[in-house]
Structure 1
Amino acid sequence: MTPFQIRACDSAIQQDTTDYLPSKDRVTRWDIAGFVFSIITHLVDVGLDINVAYRYYVDNPNQYYYVLTLIFILVPAVINTAFSIKMYCQNKEDTQMKPLTKRFTKRRLCYLIILLFQLAPVLRYFDALRYAIKSKKAEKEKNIENQRKYYKLMIQEDSDVALLRVLECYLEAAPQQILQLAIIFYKHGDGNTFTIVHQLLSIGSSFVSMAWSMASYHRLLRVALINKNNISWGGTIMQFMWHFLVTVSRIMCISVIASIFPYYTVLVLSVHWFVMVIWLKITSDQPAICGNNKVFEYFFFAVFGTVYIFTHISLSQGRTLVRYVFFYTILCVENIIAMIIWMLYSDEVIRSSPYYLPIICLNFITFFVGIVFMIVYYKICHPSTGYIQRHLVKR
């Protein structure tokens, strides 16, 4: 179940009982620290991307790289802000609440700042942080009603921002990584050393951000659902490693082939995107956020079709085994073909470079080890079907 579906059924749940959150659920210092950490890491990630764009700008021969980098920053910012506003429009149950994002976006100048610096997720983190602090304060005052009220609002904001962070990572960070790595491979690592350092910093932070965004997204969805067991921190680590390794392999494979055949790479990825959009349209539930708006519905699937170039994210309930087998088989075949083409058509400079063989080994090893982490997660750490849940928790 996605945050959209959680919001759709939330009002119905409240009609049944106003005390549907378990009494044991309360805001901890770790929650507050987590929000602060998420805000800082997001700003650092965006700042490093902007810094790379600036390095291209001051390096006159690379104006083309500067324009592409800027496009990959601004377009996802517009999409993320649109989704954020749509989520707020969907949830109007509490008219007394005035979240920071809602107030901030009423001013055109502030709205422009949000778009330029990708602050939509950051503002949602601030909203969640504000609710967390209020819930903690109400707990100290022994005001149970406000404690649970603000805790519920914090969970809603947290689950929404988790999805926004996933979109930001895979619409902005992933294309940025492909661009930066393709540039490095295209230049055979002979570019300005100072610029390469900035590129590698941006690439490294993005890899971590993408993996953590997926792990955090799944963890927060389980917290938001009252009839589901939460994911343990061990399970979250398994998910982080799974998404980190598979994403590294996927982006490396796309980057190496893009450094040789950029236009054909765009063509193949476009075909992949189109297939994923059709697949999502056929297999996914009707997104509650879209309502009866068919235009936004197609926009919704188009956006997540882009995410599906890199990773799988569940948009409907039900068993995911068949979906995973289908999706990761396609990724595996595409990655293998990309590496074979790169090995066949690489010039002598690349083949003699010190990173040629390590990249080939890295791409294959990381993908299959990532799949192993996925299997371990579902066999051992999954809160519903894992070994721990079946044999240890029930005891």
Structure 2
Amino acid sequence: MTVIYQSKMCEPEAIDQVDRLPSRDRVTDLDIAGFVISIVSHLVDLVFDLNLAYRYYHNNEIPYFCTTLGFILIPAIVNTAFSIRMYYLDQGKANRSLTNRLSKRGFCCLLILVFQLAPVLRYFDALQYALKSRKAQKNKNIEDQRKYYKLMVQEDSDVALLRVLECFLEAAPQQILQLSIIFHTHGQGISNTFTFIHQLLSIGSSFVSMAWSMASYQRLLRVSLTNKNNITWAGTIMQFMWHFLVTVSRIMCISVVASIYPEYTVLALFIHWMFMVIWLLYSTHDLNFCNNNRIYDFLFYTIFGTVYIFTHVSLSDGRTFWKYVFFYLTLCVENIICMIVWIVKADDTVKETLYYLPIVYINFISFFVGILFMIIYYKIFHPSTGYVSRLTRAAQHALTT
């Protein structure tokens, strides 16, 4: 993958040029449904997380309440800060862009910013452009149809960054927190069925939100890049399964060891994060992400260092084979260490539960199956180098000659 938002985030003079739009530039029912699902899934995930935080507070479990609330607010603040930055740099119309949006929406926009719903605001923007394009299509106004379709894709390109941040700064850490709480409390023999149900709802909604964010991001990435072939739906499914399964394994492995040694887990994650930030600084130091602005460069790398706790996101074009080998080998070793700790140090009460052995098997199987999907994607479905792409180009060449 290649990051599509660096010019929007960091270079005020840059204007994204989106190509690869379909020849008719038509908004489909799937496009509109996608925005609606994105809005609903985000809101549902937020509601379930807030509800769980309230349950902890109501049960006088203040440490769990504070950590759950913190895992909601901190990523949301980061998302809002990035969203506001995008508004200022959008199409080079810095002050006017944000001022117009705030003045037009007034109190509604203020509520969205206060309650940390920045992605929802961007989803609504893209949905409005989609509906306007559909209306222009019905009125046979081809010029407006293409204009609003392009604006929809550009807006969706902006929200792609927020999707990634939401996925790996909020949904994934929230799952780790709630799973580690479940394993820890069950290991102590504590069982509250009502709270357990709300924990499962929060975990499930976070998984759905993360899965949808990853699936929609992967496909949009290629649509918005210049001189890049779009990913087929089969390729999108392969990428989704690759990232989803590896991330599930990663989340489960961190959760089980965090339920036993929470302080050491935080320390290990901090060391992993710091190592990833240094690796990113070294491997991409010549790419000039933020126009020589050292503050934004540092923030950019620290944010993606957190993402690299869970998955790899390439920040530039070029060969990624050895980067993948290094990164996923590191994850594999860390996951194995986590599972050894879980097997050796888990409480006897936990070992007697129904989920103990399935977790051991799932953690190993999901990781290696995810890697298998990655190999299949690159060997068969990659839009530039995959077997299907080469076959298509060969057929097109045969027809032209």
TM (norm. structure 2) is: 0.89
CA contact (8 A) 2:88 2:94 kept: no
**Residues 100 and 50 from structure 1, CA distance in 2 versus in 1: closer, same or farther, beyond 3 angstroms?**
farther
**Within 1, Cα distance between the matches of 2:114 and 2:379?**
41
Report 1:355-374 matches (<5 A). 355-374=355-374
How much does 1:184 deviate? 0.6
CA contact (8 A) 1:21 1:148 kept: no
Deviations 1:38-57 (A, max 9, x none): 11111111111111111111
**Within 2, Cα distance between the matches of 1:373 and 1:55?**
39
- The two structures, once aligned, show a CA RMSD in angstroms of 2.7
**Residues 216 and 104 from structure 1, CA distance in 2 versus in 1: closer, same or farther, beyond 3 angstroms?**
farther
How many positions carry a matched residue from both structures? 389
Specify the code of the residue in structure 1 equivalent to 2:68.
Answer: T
**Residues 172 and 21 from structure 1, CA distance in 2 versus in 1: closer, same or farther, beyond 3 angstroms?**
closer
User: 1:352 — aligned with what?
Assistant: 352
User: 1:71 — aligned with what?
Assistant: 70
How much does 1:345 deviate? 1.4
**Within 1, Cα distance between the matches of 2:340 and 2:48?**
32
Aligned with 2:15 (options 6, 11, 15): 11
CA contact (8 A) 2:222 2:230 kept: yes
**Within 2, Cα distance between the matches of 1:89 and 1:99?**
6
CA contact (8 A) 1:211 1:240 kept: yes
**Within 2, Cα distance between the matches of 1:66 and 1:12?**
42
How much does 1:142 deviate? 3.2
CA contact (8 A) 2:164 2:214 kept: yes
User: 1:40 — aligned with what?
Assistant: 40
User: 1:59 — aligned with what?
Assistant: 59
Specify the code of the residue in structure 1 equivalent to 2:15.
Answer: S
> What SS class does the counterpart of residue 203 from structure 2 fall into?
helix
Mind listing any 5+ residue stretches in structure 2 that lack a counterpart?
Answer: 396-401
User: 2:320 — aligned with what?
Assistant: 320
Deviations 1:144-179 (A, max 9, x none): 332222222111111221220110121111111111
How much does 1:292 deviate? 3.5
Aligned with 2:119 (options 118, 121, 128): 121
> What SS class does the counterpart of residue 290 from structure 1 fall into?
coil
**Residues 32 and 394 from structure 1, CA distance in 2 versus in 1: closer, same or farther, beyond 3 angstroms?**
farther
> What SS class does the counterpart of residue 175 from structure 2 fall into?
helix
Aligned with 1:149 (options 127, 141, 147): 147
How much does 1:317 deviate? 1.5
**Within 2, Cα distance between the matches of 1:286 and 1:133?**
41
Specify the code of the residue in structure 2 equivalent to 1:66.
Answer: F
Matched, 1:164 2:165: no
**Residues 285 and 390 from structure 1, CA distance in 2 versus in 1: closer, same or farther, beyond 3 angstroms?**
farther
Greater relative contact order (CA < 8 Å, ≥ 6 in sequence): 2
Matched, 1:308 2:308: yes
Matched, 1:89 2:71: no
**Residues 29 and 12 from structure 1, CA distance in 2 versus in 1: closer, same or farther, beyond 3 angstroms?**
closer
**Within 2, Cα distance between the matches of 1:95 and 1:266?**
39
User: 1:252 — aligned with what?
Assistant: 252
How much does 1:3 deviate? 2.7
User: 1:341 — aligned with what?
Assistant: 341
Specify the code of the residue in structure 1 equivalent to 2:348.
Answer: E
Specify the code of the residue in structure 2 equivalent to 1:273.
Answer: W
TM (norm. structure 1) is: 0.90
How much does 1:354 deviate? 2.2
User: 1:204 — aligned with what?
Assistant: 204
**Within 1, Cα distance between the matches of 2:260 and 2:389?**
48
Mind listing any 5+ residue stretches in structure 1 that lack a counterpart?
Answer: none
**Residues 284 and 25 from structure 1, CA distance in 2 versus in 1: closer, same or farther, beyond 3 angstroms?**
farther
User: 2:179 — aligned with what?
Assistant: 181
Specify the code of the residue in structure 2 equivalent to 1:157.
Answer: E
Report 1:103-122 matches (<5 A). 103=102, 110-111=109-110, 113-116=112-115, 118-122=116-120
**Residues 96 and 76 from structure 1, CA distance in 2 versus in 1: closer, same or farther, beyond 3 angstroms?**
closer
Specify the code of the residue in structure 2 equivalent to 1:124.
Answer: R
User: 1:294 — aligned with what?
Assistant: 294
How much does 1:306 deviate? 0.6
User: 1:24 — aligned with what?
Assistant: 24
Deviations 1:258-311 (A, max 9, x none): 011100000000000001111111223667773342112111111111111111
**Residues 132 and 198 from structure 1, CA distance in 2 versus in 1: closer, same or farther, beyond 3 angstroms?**
same
CA contact (8 A) 1:5 1:288 kept: no
280-289 vs 264-273, which deviates more?
280-289
> What SS class does the counterpart of residue 299 from structure 2 fall into?
helix
**Within 1, Cα distance between the matches of 2:150 and 2:4?**
13
